[in-house]
């Protein structure tokens, strides 16, 4: 990494005071240091100042990786044509990630790993972020990688005509024209507003940000795949599979270890599990507990598990009876036996939720808010105080998605003793999301919505809980919350951000516009001879260091 800016050195001092004051753990420090782009030397100095050893290198395998071999992977088929600038489904993303790369990869603990960006740093108020790029990198078509490609790719994503999933993340933070080339290997992002967590928005968590060459023609990726990545895609058959071979000119010397990757698209969980059990595949991209239970006890396989920020939010419209009274919303939250829900739905493989968006995986998640537990007496008392001493009936809209229907049935049974009669209305996913003027998930008084992985809490609270959030299905409006959200996003001061986080989490848990009972772990089942591959909280696939033994 390059030398640190004065701001970064000042930030390092600030981190030292945070950790010495006991307000930050060592792991959280490493995550935060990676976001602001501190060099390894500086992080070492910080840790030394705190009396801790320097960060240990990431899990290095005990045996040397063996080169060669072809890995067989099953995954859900891309629902639409694969195009990195517009893709949104798990299959498309995992395919594109083999061929093209991000500036930054987000590790499982949410720390940042430089890929095409060598280093990055903010100015003092976090409105301009400068990225230094790797040199000597070539695209698979032979074109050298430079700052122009980054500007080109970002401008595609920022163009509303592209309809990129990334645009929603950039809204209000980065606009067209904000990405500027400084020199051949340096790019500056001029933001619309100060933003402390900005690197996550150009990293793998904003999955459409794969860097494409300036020669790229929109919509041609599936037939002419291009990128700087470890594998070349040699064949793609819709709904069936894809074939990859090692990129011989890959810029990370010696990698990847595999000669190739064969992907088979399978859309049913049970069928994917069978393919792995029968030996037709080596890795199942994502292994939900529901539908693949047999894999977790199969002696020939290993299942890796990693905590994620995926969740299901049960929203209650605060502007619609009976949810206008927060006691009613709290009452339902108190009927839930969360450990039982987790045991039933995920065989224990999930983290407990506390009705706020600060998943324990987020480095600044407050630990001061008491965990909500089942308390039927309290729920009854809250209902009585809200004017429902004889119970209340609620209509819950449930999408047919993974474990959501089972979750709703559990909630129904748990709410009954408190006098809450949950009526379930089960609908298909397409119906639940709808389109145009008819988007039931934003309109029904009460519904359960699936939320995929988010790298930073802002990606949850901005759209779902701020007054003008586009996906605010609970219609929650709270000026104090909005102010804290703004403060959290725009300051680089860790102590203040921690306070803002505590404020927001406190408001959400107390007001309970949504019930968040659990944060799902992501599992990945594979054969025992597959090494150097982890599960991924966002179900992404990085095979750069994978090898077969």
Phi and psi at 36, nearest 5°, equal -80, -5
- The answer to whether 519 and 353 are in contact (CB under 8 A) is yes
Cα atoms found within 13 Å of the Cα of residue 117, Cβ hemisphere only:
31
Cβ proximity to another protein: between 89 and 493 the closer is 89
Question: Collapsing DSSP states into helix, strand and coil, what is residue 151?
Answer: helix
> Smallest distance, Å, CB 178 to another protein?
20
- The answer to whether 197 and 222 are in contact (CB under 8 A) is no
Report how far residue 423's alpha carbon sits from residue 449's, in angstroms, rounded to the nearest whole number: 17
> Smallest distance, Å, CB 304 to another protein?
22
Report how far residue 215's alpha carbon sits from residue 315's, in angstroms, rounded to the nearest whole number: 45
Q: Which residues bind another protein (CB under 8 A)?
A: 79-81, 86, 88-89, 160, 163, 165, 168, 222, 238-240, 264, 266-268, 271, 274-275, 277-280, 294, 428-431, 433-437, 439, 470-471
Task: Please name the residue that has the structure tokens 């709410």.
Answer: 415
- The answer to whether 34 and 62 are in contact (CB under 8 A) is no
Q: What is the DSSP string of 459-503?
A: HHHHHHHSTT-TT-TT----HHHHHHHHHHHH---HHHHHHHHHH
Question: Collapsing DSSP states into helix, strand and coil, what is residue 423?
Answer: strand
Nearest to 84 by CA among 219, 180, 188, 214: 219
Per the structure block, which two tokens stand in for 538? 């966002």
Cβ proximity to another protein: between 139 and 465 the closer is 465
Cβ proximity to another protein: between 424 and 427 the closer is 427
> Smallest distance, Å, CB 294 to another protein?
8
Nearest to 150 by CA among 106, 198, 214, 87: 214
DSSP lists the bridge partners of residue 115 as none
Task: Please name the residue that has the structure tokens 């586009």.
Answer: 470
Count the residues in the chain. 549
Cβ proximity to another protein: between 7 and 431 the closer is 431
Cβ proximity to another protein: between 2 and 240 the closer is 240
Cβ proximity to another protein: between 157 and 382 the closer is 157
Cβ proximity to another protein: between 239 and 528 the closer is 239
Task: Please name the residue that has the structure tokens 């402390």.
Answer: 196
Cβ proximity to another protein: between 160 and 254 the closer is 160
Cβ proximity to another protein: between 165 and 369 the closer is 165
> Smallest distance, Å, CB 164 to another protein?
9
Beta strands in 123-247 (DSSP E): 128-133, 179-183, 186-190, 231-237, 241-246
> Smallest distance, Å, CB 163 to another protein?
4
- The answer to whether 446 and 394 are in contact (CB under 8 A) is yes
> Smallest distance, Å, CB 224 to another protein?
13
> Smallest distance, Å, CB 161 to another protein?
9
Cβ proximity to another protein: between 87 and 392 the closer is 87
> Smallest distance, Å, CB 440 to another protein?
9
Nearest to 378 by CA among 333, 410, 408, 339: 333
> Smallest distance, Å, CB 426 to another protein?
13
> Smallest distance, Å, CB 513 to another protein?
20
CA 260 to chain centre: 27
Cβ proximity to another protein: between 88 and 296 the closer is 88
- For 291: left if phi > 0, alpha if psi spans -120 to 50, otherwise beta; the answer is left
Cβ proximity to another protein: between 68 and 279 the closer is 279
> Smallest distance, Å, CB 373 to another protein?
32
> Smallest distance, Å, CB 278 to another protein?
4
Beta strands in 84-163 (DSSP E): 104-106, 112-114, 117-122, 128-133
Cβ proximity to another protein: between 163 and 377 the closer is 163
Per the structure block, which two tokens stand in for 342? 């987790």
DSSP, res 370: P
3-state SS record for 499-549: HHHHHHHHHHHHHCCEECCEEEEEEEEEECCEECCCCCCCCCCCCCCCEEC
> Smallest distance, Å, CB 264 to another protein?
7
Helices (H) and strands (E) in the chain, counts: 16, 20
């Amino acid at each position: 990494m390059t030398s640190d800016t004065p701001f970064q050195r000042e930030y390092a001092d600030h981190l030292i005071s945070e950790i010495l004051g006991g307000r930050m753990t060592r792991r959280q420090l490493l995550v935060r240091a990676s976001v602001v782009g501190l060099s390894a030397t500086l992080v070492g100095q910080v840790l030394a100042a705190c009396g801790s050893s320097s960060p240990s290198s990431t899990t290095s395998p005990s045996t040397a990786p063996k080169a060669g071999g072809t890995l067989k992977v099953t995954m859900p088929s891309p629902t639409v044509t694969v195009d990195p600038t517009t893709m949104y489904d798990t299959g498309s993303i995992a395919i594109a990630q083999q061929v093209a790369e991000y500036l930054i990869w987000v590790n499982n603990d949410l720390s940042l790993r430089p890929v095409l960006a060598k280093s990055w740093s903010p100015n003092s108020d976090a409105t301009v972020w400068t990225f230094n790029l790797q040199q000597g990198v070539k695209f698979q078509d032979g074109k050298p990688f430079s700052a122009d490609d980054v500007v080109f790719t970002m401008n595609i994503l920022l163009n509303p005509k592209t309809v990129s999933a990334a645009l929603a993340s950039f809204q209000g933070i980065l606009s067209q024209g904000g990405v500027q080339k400084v020199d051949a290997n340096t790019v500056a992002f001029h933001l619309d507003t100060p933003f402390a967590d900005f690197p996550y928005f150009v990293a793998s968590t904003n999955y459409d940000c794969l860097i494409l060459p300036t020669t790229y023609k929109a919509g041609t990726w599936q037939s002419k795949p291009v990128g700087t990545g470890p594998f070349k895609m040699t064949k793609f058959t819709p709904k069936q599979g894809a074939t990859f071979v090692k990129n011989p000119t890959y810029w990370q010397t010696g990698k990847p270890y595999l000669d190739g990757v064969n992907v088979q698209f399978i859309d049913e969980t049970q069928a994917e599990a069978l393919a792995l059990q029968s030996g037709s595949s080596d890795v199942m991209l994502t292994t939900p507990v529901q539908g693949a239970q047999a894999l977790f006890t199969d002696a020939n396989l290993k299942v890796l598990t990693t905590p994620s920020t995926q969740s299901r939010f049960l929203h209650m419209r605060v502007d619609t009876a009976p949810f206008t009274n927060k006691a009613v919303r709290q009452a339902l939250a108190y009927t839930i036996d969360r450990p039982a829900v987790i045991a039933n739905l995920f065989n224990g493989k999930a983290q407990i939720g506390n009705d706020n968006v600060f998943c324990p995986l987020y480095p600044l998640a407050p630990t001061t808010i008491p965990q909500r537990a089942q308390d039927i007496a309290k729920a009854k008392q809250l209902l009585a105080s809200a004017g429902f001493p004889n119970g209340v009936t609620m209509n819950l809209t449930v999408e047919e998605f993974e474990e959501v229907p089972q979750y709703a049935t559990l909630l129904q049974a748990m709410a009954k003793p408190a006098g809450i009669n949950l009526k379930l209305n089960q609908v298909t996913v397409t119906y639940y999301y709808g389109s145009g003027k008819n988007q039931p998930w934003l309109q029904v008084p009460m519904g359960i919505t699936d939320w995929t992985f988010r790298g930073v809490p802002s990606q949850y609270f901005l759209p779902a809980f701020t007054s003008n959030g586009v996906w605010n299905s609970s219609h929650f409006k709270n000026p104090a919350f909005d102010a804290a959200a703004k403060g959290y996003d725009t300051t680089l001061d860790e102590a203040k951000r921690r306070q803002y986080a505590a404020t927001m989490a406190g408001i959400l848990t107390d007001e309970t516009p949504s019930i968040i009972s659990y944060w799902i772990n992501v599992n990945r089942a594979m054969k025992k001879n597959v090494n150097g591959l982890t599960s991924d909280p966002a179900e992404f696939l990085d095979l750069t260091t994978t090898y077969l033994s």
